[in-house]
Chains A and B, each alone.
Chain A
Amino acid sequence: MENTLLELRGVTKRFGEATALAETSLSIHEGSFVAIVGPSGCGKSTLFNVIAGLLAPDGGEVRLQGEPVTGATGHVGYMLQKDLLVPWRTVEDNITMAARLTRRVNNVDRAEARRVATEYGLGDFLRHYPRALSGGMRQRVAFMRTLVTHQPLLLLDEPFGALDAQTRLDMQQWLLQVWRDTGRTVLFITHDVDESLFLSDRVLVMSPRPGRVVADITNPLARPRDMETLTDPAFIELKSRIMHLLHGGAS
C-alpha cells in the first residue's frame, strides 16, 4: 500500500499573467482515496488537466508509477461534473467509449461493460439511451466508462456536484463500494467539505491567487463509513479545521 503511484514535482501553470497553479509537489499512494477541496478558481481542475496531460505545465514534472508522463495523455481515467455521455449511444456503448476511441471494440469490452453495469445496478438499462436515465444513473454510467479504461489512477472532478442531496449521498456510498472492490487510486475534487471527509483517506486543501495546496490532512475516520460518521466528533473537528483554512480564519 505504500507504493507511490503518482508524483508531482514542482509543477506550475500560468494563464498569461495569472498563476493558476503555483509550484506544487505531491505524492499519492497506490490504492488511496485523496480528496481535494478548495473554493472555485483555485486551480483544482487545472491540476487535474496537468496530470491528465490535457495541459502542459510551465514547469515541473508529472510521474506515474515512476515514469515521466508530463504533457502526455492516455494514462489516467478522468471524469467531470458533466457526464459527457454521447446521446447517440446506448448505456453499453457509452461504457465502451474509451475502447472505441482507441481501437476496435471487441466482445471482451462488451462483456465487461455488461458485467460492470450489472454488478453496479444498471444491468436493466444496457440498451437504454442516456436521455432515458436520471442524473444519478448518468453519473454512474460515466463512472463505469472511466472504470473500464483499467487505468490505475482515477481523476474525478466534482462528479456529484450537480446531483441533489439524496442522490449524492447514495452515489458517495456507491463510489466507496466500487473503490473498495476495484482497488483503484482516486483523486476526488469537491468543494463540499463533508463529501471530502466522508470519502477520503487524505484531504488536500487548496487556496487561490496563486492556486496552491495549503494543507495536507490525514483523515483517520474509520471505515466503513455511514450516516453515523457525519456526526462523529472527530469528523466535526476535522471539518471545522478545514473550514477555517478555506474561509481565511487564522488557525
Chain B
Amino acid sequence: MTRKLLRNIGVPVLSLLLLLALWQAIVVGFNVAPYVAPRPWQAILSVTQNWSTIWPLALGTIRETVYGFLIGAFLGVFLGVVMAKIPVLQRSVYPVLVLSQAVPIIALASPLVLILGFSIMPKIVIVAWIVFFPVTVNVVDGLSHVDPDLINLARVYGAPRWRTFVHIEMPATTTPLFSGLKIGATYAVTGAVIGELAASEGSSLALYQEHANSNLNAAAVYGTTMVMTAIGISWFLLVVATEVAATPWQRRSVARRYPWRRARFETDGAASIVSSLSKGES
C-alpha cells in the first residue's frame, strides 16, 4: 500500500521538482535577467505574498472551469448518445461539430463577450465549447463499438432497448467516456483564461497577469501561470479520481462489500451451508 502510494504520488512530485530544478539551472546558467524570466522561488514568492489578491481571482477561474466543464461534459454525453443512436443526426450534426472546433477559439471569444457581456457567462460558454467535443467523439466511438454479441444476448432475453442501453451500452462506454472527459479537463482552464482575456474589463486571473506583464513584473507573470496550471492539474486529477472510484472492476478482483448489501451476503453464508449439507446427502 505505502509502496503504491509512493509510486503514484512520489514519482509525479519528484518529476515536478526536477522541472523546477531545470528551470532554476537554465535561468542561473544562462544568467537570464530577472525581468525576462524569474527564478522559480521568486515566482512562487510572488504568489504567496499576493495570495489575498490572487485567491479570489483564482476562485473565479475555478468557477468558470468547473461550471463550463460540467455543462460541456453533459452536453458532450447527450450529443454523443443522440448521434450514436440516430444515424441521420450523426451524418448531419457531426460535420457541424467538427466545424465548431475548427473555428479558432480566440476569434470566438470577443464576439461572445459582446453578446453575453462581462459576466461569467462567456467564459463558461468557451469552456463548454472546448470540453464537449472530445467527450462527444469518444462517446460516439464507444457506443458504436459495443460488442454486437452482447447486444444480441440482451435481445435473446427480450430486453427492451432502453434497458440494453442503461445496463450494457453505457457501462461498456465508460473507458472512452473518461478518455474524453480527461482531454476536456486538461483544456478547460485554457478556455477559461481565453475568456478572461477577451473580457478586457473586470478583475480576473488573466487580467492580473496582463497587468503584471505591462509592469515588467516577470515573477508575477510566471507565478500566475503556475496558479493557472495548478487549477488545470487539480481538475484533471479530480476527473481521474472520479474514474477510479467509478470503475472498481478495472483494478480490483473482488468487489467491495457495500454496507447496503451486507445483509444479503450474510444470508449467503447460511445458504451455502444448507446447500453443502444437501449435497453431502446425495
Give the B-binding residues of A (Cβ under 8 A): 52-54, 73-76, 78, 80, 82, 84, 86-90, 97-98, 100-102, 107, 110-111, 114-115, 118-119, 123, 126-129, 131-132, 149
Contacts and interface: CB of A to CB of B under 8 A. Distances in A.
A114 B271 contact: yes
A88 B171 contact: yes
Contacts of A115: 271, 275
Nearest to B174: A88
B158 A118 contact: no
Given A87-B250, A126-B268, A129-B252, 8 more contacts: A86-B171, A86-B172, A101-B163, A102-B163, A118-B268, A118-B275, A119-B275, A129-B254
Of B159, B163, B164, B248, most buried by chain A (CB within 10 Å of CB) is: B159
Interface string B147-165: 1011011111111100110
Q: From DSSP, what is the main secondary structure of chain B's interface residues?
A: helix
Contact of A74 (B156, B168, B174): B156
Given A86-B168, A86-B172, A73 B272 contact: no
Contact of A100 (B153, B167, B247, B276): B167
Contacts of A89: 249
B279 interface: yes
Contacts of B171: 86, 88
Contacts, number: 92
Interface residues of B, number: 37
20 contacts: A53-B156, A73-B158, A76-B156, A80-B153, A82-B149, A84-B150, A86-B150, A101-B163, A101-B167, A101-B168, A111-B267, A114-B271, A115-B275, A118-B272, A123-B275, A127-B257, A127-B265, A128-B255, A129-B249, A129-B252
Nearest to A124: B272
B253 interface: yes
A128 to B, nearest CB: 5
Contact of A114 (B150, B152, B164, B268): B268
Interface in B263-280: 264-265, 267-268, 271-272, 275-276, 279
Contacts of B265: 126-127
Contacts of A54: 152, 155-156
Contacts of A111: 267, 271
Nearest to A132: B253
Given A118-B275, A126-B268, A78 B153 contact: yes
Contacts of B167: 97, 100-101
A200 B276 CA distance: 29
Contacts of B157: 73-74, 97-98, 101-102, 149
B139 to A, nearest CB: 17
A101 B154 contact: yes
Contacts of B149: 80, 82, 84
Contacts of A114: 268, 271-272
